[in-house]
A and B are shown apart, each in its own frame.
Chain A
Amino acid sequence: MWQEALIKTKPGAEGYVFVPVRPQLPSQPYALQTVGEKRYLRFKRTYSGWECSLLSFFYRAPQNKLRGSAATPGMPGFLKTYSGDVLIGYLGTGRVVLYKYKNGSREHTYGNGGTSLRPGQRTLTGNTASSPQGTTQCVEYRACSWLLTCPRPYSFPEFQIVHNDGEGTCIEPWGTTLSCGTETVYHLGAWNTYRLCDGGEGDGDGDGDGGDDNGDIDPDDDNNPPLPPCEGMNAQNQIPAFKAAQNELIAKTSGNAEYSYAFNDKHDFSTYVGTPGIPGKPVVSMIYDKSIPLDGISHNHYVECLDVHSGGDLKAMFDIMKDGHMRDDKAFTSSLFTQNGVDYSIMITNYNQFLNFGSIWLHDVDAVISLENLYYYDRPGGIGYKNSAVSASEKAFLSMLDQNGAGITILKHDRAADTWTTLSVNDQNEVVSTPCL
């Protein structure tokens, strides 16, 4: 519907053209028949040319549970007020990414971090195409992007984006399933066609980059860059209520029960909800008002507990995130105060990575059991090795998060100086400390 196209430009910057796509036209290329209730072709003018992507807005809840709503149905109000899920397929590369928008601005990226198609040394037909040279016989393949979801009553969000290749057609990646197993639903997102020829190679760009996106439906809006972990932790460290909860939890590490606090952004102690655990049991329940988004959680470990965050602790943070109870995932902290005089706080520094990590290891109790079997064992090298020094558990914990690309940064507390330090492991598997200034 070119007559309804919306052109948005900023002086000296990139320009956008939004073209509504009428659904279900028989003559449409199949790539445009993506699921979704409202769709636009978006042409982005960059310094190197035009980039085309297809935006599918889910403003109802179809079978795959992607959803959204907009206060204003018509353009350009729709683009400014839409909140919900947007599936963006970059037609130049085939990369398909699921985004979540709020009031027209992108919040986060779902799926596996927007993994791009990587056709390698192949010729992309119709895109960056250049014919293979010296070929004698060619076979056409398709590099396909699939969105995997679970039907009701499985919980949202549970989905994954999978890429595969098929000869001449796209074939569902049956071998890849979500936790709903054989009930996994496969939605074809987009594809690129390429050819492989005997005696020659194509020259596709191979980098699979779907192109940068400024993150907004409406390019006039700005992104909110994430707070560096230190900045977020230092800010929280100035909140009297956080300090009071910290001191109380530290004092209670000498007891025989865990205690926890969940708190929100009002930053007064009345919003800190403390919960006692069960004496003699390394468990605690965090009770909080679900109607108020959380800023963080804190709890302690007594003498029989782990020196670092447990798999259950990681799951709690993941659950709060996926259930939408975090006010700001970039500033959310999960702090732990232990009987060994060592305190840690973990923060999400890469939302997509943490979502991916959680969807593998934290999405249910069984997955957490597997995580703890693999990494938290009570033997040398294990996070839960009782005879090790705290530093060994710390290193094992850091290595586990690093190996799995968990998207989490760990901060360590110096009680004497009341300062925090970020920890990481380098390529030699050595712990690196960087003080927060």
Chain B
Amino acid sequence: MMKNALLLALLLALSASSFAQRNSAAKAAPGGGNQVLPLASSFLGTWEWHSGTDVFRIVLTRDNAYPAPNGKLYSVILGRHSYAKNGVVIEETFTKSPSVPKEWSLLTIPREEWRLVMGFMDQTKQKSGSAELIINPNTPNQLSFSLKETMGTVSLNTPNVVGFTIPTAMTLTRVP
């Protein structure tokens, strides 16, 4: 735990240093400057939701050197998911190749210890959403998952795609 914390602190320091070098009039660094970000380690692992033969599964992992589009590295929590309806897998991202840059389907930089707001990519509808994941510290093996439209999703000359492929409100259980 302490080792991870030191690693994260070192990463953040390096990131801030790199930014300062590139911008001589350094202001607030991306992502809130040099504030200490939580690890949100309770979220890491495998989680499942079952309803009859419908199964939603996510696996959340940490990547301490995730390259953002601007080329900088950030400590993020990444997720992959699968959704099976009536026993048939409707969509999943577990089998996506690691060489594909966008293999993940959930992504966030943790800002809170017990709540994550993650960008979510609906694989079937090819649209993004905003997923909110909450763990009650008193019930650390349960995870509340809700999904809503991303703020300001603007589509040009195409109707908005309404809704998501997966259920938008679920309570997941940790899979040992």
**Which residues of chain A are within 8 angstroms of B68 by Cβ–Cβ distance?**
370, 374
- B157 pairs with A288, CB closer than 8 A: yes
Residues of chain A from 414 to 437 with CB closer than 8 A to chain B in the complex: 425, 427, 429
- Residues of B contacting A60 in the complex (Cβ-Cβ under 8 angstroms): none
| Contact size range, A | 35 or more
- Chain B, interface SS category: loop
Given that A286-B156, A311-B152 are known contacts, is A361 also in contact with B70, CB under 8 Å in the complex? yes
CB distance A283 to B160 under 8 Å? yes
Q: Which of B23, B25, B127, B149 contacts A365 (CB 8 A)?
A: B127
Taking a contact as CB atoms under 8 Å apart, the answer to whether A399 and B119 are in contact is no
Could you say which residues of chain B place their CB within 8 Å of the CB of A151?
none
Q: Are B35 and A301 in contact (CB under 8 A)?
A: no
Contacts of A365 in B (CB 8 A): 121, 126-128
What residues on A are CB-neighbors of B70 within 8 Å?
360-361, 404
Whether A285 touches B158, Cβ cut-off 8 Å, given contacts A360-B69, A374-B109, A381-B33, is yes
Query: B98-128 vs A: 1/0 string, CB under 8 Å?
Result: 0111100001110110000111010000111
Please report the total number of B residues contacting A with Cβ < 8 Å.
Answer: 43
Report how far A82 CA is from B81 CA in the complex, Å.
51
Contact with A along B115-158 (1 / 0, CB 8 A): 00111010000111000000000000000000001111111111
CB-CB under 8 A for A367 and B28, given A281-B149, A285-B159, A384-B151: no
Bound-complex Cα distance A354 to B153 (A) = 20
B121 touches A285 (CB 8 A): no
Interface check A320, CB cutoff 8 A:
yes
* B119 CB contact (under 8 Å) in A182, A369, A381: A369
A99-142 Cβ-contact flags toward B at 8 Å (1 or 0): 00000000000000000000000000000000000000000000
Chain A: minimal CB distance from B12 (Å): 13
Q: Which of A284, A361, A369 has the most CB of B within 10 A?
A: A369
Q: Give B10-42 interface residues, CB cut-off 8 Å to A.
A: 23, 25, 27-28, 30-33, 35
**A310 pairs with B156, CB closer than 8 A:** no
One of A282, A319, A427 near B151 (C-beta < 8 A)? A282
Q: Give A400 to B151 CA distance when docked, in angstroms.
A: 17
Which A residue sits closest to B120, measured CB to CB? A369
The A interface, classified by DSSP as helix, strand, loop or mixed, is: mixed
Residues on B with C-beta less than 8 A from A282 are 149-153
Tell me whether B94 is interfacial, beta carbon within 8 Å.
no
Flag whether A309 is at the interface (Cβ < 8 A): yes
**Contacts of A162-216 to chain B: CB distance below 8 A:** 179, 181-182
Q: Which residues of A contact B101 (CB under 8 A)?
A: 179, 181, 366
Interface residue B2 (Cβ < 8 Å from any Cβ of A) = no
Question: Are B154's CB and A377's CB within 8 A?
Answer: no
B111 to chain A, nearest CB (A): 4
Tell me, in angstroms, the Cα distance from A123 to B7 when the chains sit together. 42
Decide: A286 and B32 in contact? CB cutoff 8 A: no
**A311 contacts which chain B residues (CB < 8 A)?**
152
Interface readout for A363-396 with B: 1 if CB under 8 Å, 0 if not?
A: 0011111111111111111101000000000000
For residue A97, CB closer than 8 A to chain B, the reply is no
Given contacts A360-B69, A368-B128, A373-B119, contact A301 B30 (CB under 8 A): no
A375 to B155, CA, bound (A): 21
Q: Evaluate contact between B151 and A370: CB separation under 8 angstroms.
A: no
Q: Which A residues lie within 8 Å of B128 (CB)? A: 365, 368-369
A399 touches B27 (CB 8 A): yes
Supposing A374-B109, A375-B31, A381-B33 touch, asked if A366 and B121 sit within 8 A by C-beta, the answer is: yes
Residues of B within 8 A of A258 (CB): 152
Q: Is residue A251 contacting chain B, with contact meaning CB distance below 8 A? A: no
User: Nearest Cβ in chain A — how far from B15, in angstroms?
Assistant: 11
Residues in B with CB closer than 8 Å to A310 are: 150-154
A381 pairs with B149, CB closer than 8 A: no
Q: How far is the CA of A371 from the CA of B155 in the complex (A)?
A: 18
Report yes or no: B32 in contact with A380, Cβ–Cβ below 8 A: yes
CB-based contact A285/B154 at 8 Å: yes
Q: Does A287 have its Cβ within 8 Å of any Cβ on chain B?
A: yes
Chain A residues with CB under 8 Å of chain B are 179, 181-182, 258, 260, 277-278, 281-288, 290, 299, 301, 305-306, 309-313, 315-316, 319-320, 360-361, 365-382, 384, 399-400, 402-404, 425, 427, 429
Known: A284-B160, A305-B151. 9 other contacts (CB 8 A): A283-B152, A283-B154, A285-B155, A306-B151, A316-B154, A365-B127, A369-B150, A370-B69, A381-B35
Residues of B within 8 A of A (CB): 23, 25, 27-28, 30-33, 35, 68-70, 74, 76, 99-102, 107-109, 111-112, 117-119, 121, 126-128, 149-160, 162
Give me 6 A-to-B residue pairs in the complex whose CB atoms sit less than 8 angstroms apart, sorted by A's number.
A283-B149, A360-B70, A369-B128, A371-B69, A379-B32, A382-B111
